[in-house]
Amino acid sequence: MQRRTLLGAGAGLLAAPTVARAQGDPLRVVGVYSLSGTFANIGDLLHKGTQWAFEHYRTAAGRPISYTLLDDQGDPGRAVRHVQEAMGQGVRHVVGCTLSSIALPVAKEVHARGGVYIHMAGADEATGSECNRSSFRWPGASYTAINATLRPFIERNPNAKRWYTITGQYVFGDSLLTNLKAVLQGAGHQHVGNSYHALSEREYSGYITAAIAAQPDVLAICNFGNQTLDVVRQAVSFGMKRNTKIVVPWSTGLDQYQAWGPSICEGVHFGVNYWHGVDAPGNRVLQQVVRQKTNGPTNYLQACGWAVAQMLVEGVNKAGTAEVPALIRALEGLSYDGPTGREIIRADDHQVIKDYYLMLGKARSAMRDPNDFAEIVAGTKAFQPPEQTGCRMS
């Protein structure tokens, strides 16, 4: 395998392996991920999924794929500067993000410079008020996460009416909280309190104590990544599972379950964009590749990184070219076998329509294998109608 570096070493970039056996000029793609900072472990797994996908597909419309990582170090300004430099050197195809607060300004920059950006931001704005013709999203938005998690949970637990939330004070956390309040209001349930925490927070005992004092029926965790790990772990250690149901509308699934173990997962409800146990053609391909790489099952972050790369390849193959206007037209309405089954890109707002899963953690005695931490309670395509998203395509 050859190694290609698209940009100079001064940009702080890491080159990913590419294959250049096909004919024609390479299709240059950059991935924007955080390999340092609070969410470095998240960015690393997302990047690996993207890299493995491009290694698997090798070509798009007959052109070899050359993929390079841009490490934004968790800094939106740095991400935009790296993208500006890459696009100044001719790159027009960008994938990935670790945080919504990074994806939103990157989306504006890629659009302004005439490129295509396929990402995994969770904030509603990405396919809502800040949508544009250049940007496409694979996972469900925070609206999807809340509605696909809370509505089936409420149906199963009609007497759990008092809710307390612990929320990350950043774009994505606020988006989850806003949608959660709307669902609770519509269901006639009570939101009895909320504790915000900072992006850098690691100690949550004060917030959990406040939650216990409010005597909720349900504790909902509205944050992301390692912060979800820490809040749930500390809430369980404070004994909240004894009298309170815990709901995590946005979890990353398997990697978090492995970190918690079954003693924490048991009885907790989780929302996930992906589950390795789903039997679908696209997921079988993904599982085979990841098992060859890791000798283990696929987690959500690997799948998400894979999915944005697959969308780009599928779009270029359908268009027969990587030229941006033709690629955008090909992606709009594209249907393909993705990690969750048959997936379709909605032309109105560039949101991928796919299942979002409500999971319930199993007892250790019910696990059929070491990774069988949870069962699927519901799989729902919970998306706002296009006319309600606030997207005015530019």
**pLDDT tens-place string over residues 309-365:** 999 999 999 999 999 999 999 999 999 999 999 999 999 999 999 999 999 999 999
Q: Is the pLDDT of residue 67 over 50?
A: yes
Q: Same structural domain for residues 266 and 176?
A: yes
Confidence of residue 23 (pLDDT cuts 50, 70, 90): low
Q: Could you tell me if residue 57 is inside a domain?
A: yes
Q: Could you tell me if residue 394 is inside a domain?
A: no
Confidence of residue 393 (pLDDT cuts 50, 70, 90): confident
Per-residue model confidence (pLDDT) at position 21: 43
Confidence of residue 20 (pLDDT cuts 50, 70, 90): very low
Q: Could you tell me if residue 393 is inside a domain?
A: no
In 3D, which of 148, 105, 85, 42 has the Cα closest to residue 376?
148
Confidence of residue 114 (pLDDT cuts 50, 70, 90): very high
Per-residue model confidence (pLDDT) at position 196: 98
Weakest-pLDDT range from 31-35, 69-73, 169-173: 169-173
Q: Same structural domain for residues 193 and 245?
A: yes
Q: Could you tell me if residue 64 is inside a domain?
A: yes
Mean pLDDT in the chain? 92
Q: Could you tell me if residue 179 is inside a domain?
A: yes
Q: Could you tell me if residue 121 is inside a domain?
A: yes
Q: Same structural domain for residues 160 and 89?
A: no
Residue 141: how many CB atoms within 10 A of its CB? 29
Q: Could you tell me if residue 360 is inside a domain?
A: yes
Q: Could you tell me if residue 37 is inside a domain?
A: yes
Q: Same structural domain for residues 160 and 194?
A: yes
Q: Same structural domain for residues 44 and 65?
A: yes
Q: Same structural domain for residues 364 and 329?
A: no
Give the H/E segment covering residue 164: strand 162-168
Q: Same structural domain for residues 84 and 121?
A: yes
pLDDT tens digits along 278-304: 999 999 999 999 999 999 999 999 999
pTM score, two decimals?
0.88
- Report yes or no: 37 and 53 within 8 Å, Cβ to Cβ: no
Q: Same structural domain for residues 64 and 135?
A: yes
Q: Same structural domain for residues 241 and 305?
A: no
Q: What span, in angstroms and rounded, lies between the C-alpha atoms of 126 and 175?
A: 11
- Report yes or no: 211 and 156 within 8 Å, Cβ to Cβ: no
User: What CATH number has the domain bearing residue 264?
Assistant: 3.40.50.2300
Beta bridge partners of 389: none
**Domain with 296 in it:** 2-140+278-353
Phi/psi at 56 (5° precision): -70, -45
Q: What is the mean pLDDT of the segment spanning 65-72?
A: 97
Q: What is the mean pLDDT of the segment spanning 122-129?
A: 92
Q: Which residue has the higher pLDDT, 19 or 9?
A: 19
Q: What span, in angstroms and rounded, lies between the C-alpha atoms of 140 and 360?
A: 19
Q: Same structural domain for residues 187 and 259?
A: yes
Counted domains in the chain: 2
Q: Is the pLDDT of residue 150 over 70?
A: yes
Q: Same structural domain for residues 289 and 207?
A: no
Which amino acid is it at 291? R
Q: What is the mean pLDDT of the segment spanning 238-248?
A: 97
Q: Same structural domain for residues 345 and 361?
A: no
